[in-house]
Amino acid sequence: MTERFLTTRALCQRYGVVDRTIDRWVESGTIPEPTRINGRRYWQESALAELERARIGKRKTTAAPLIEESETA
C-alpha cells in the first residue's frame, strides 16, 4: 500500500481552517513538519491520523462523565 500525502488545501478542508492556521500549527508543533516536493508542502495522511487518534484518546480520558452522580441517586 502506498503512502498518501495531503496538500495544504486538503488539510484546510479536512480541519475547516485557512492556510495561515496550518502555518501556525506547523510553527507551534501541533502538526508535523511537511515534506517538501518542488516547493510544495505535503503531509503524510497516516501521521496526521495517528495524531488525531492520540488527541481523541486524551480527550476521552479527561472528559467529565455524561451523567453526574447526583442524577443517578
Q: What is the pLDDT of residues 30-44, one digit of tens each?
A: 999 999 999 999 999
70 found inside a domain: no
Within a domain: 51: yes
pTM of the model: 0.71
Say if 37 falls within a structural domain.
Answer: yes
Which domain does 10 fall in, by range?
A: 5-55
Number of structural domains, the chain? 1
Q: What is the percent of the chain with per-residue pLDDT over 70, rounded to a whole number?
A: 78
pLDDT band at 59 (very low <50, low <70, confident <90, very high): low
CA distance 4 to 45: 6
pLDDT at residue 61 is higher than 80: no
Residue whose grid cell is 501541533: 30
Question: Measured between alpha carbons, how far is 42 from 59 in angstroms, rounded to an integer?
Answer: 27
Residue-wise pLDDT tens digits, 8-24:
999 999 999 999 999 99
The answer to whether position 64 is within a domain reads: no
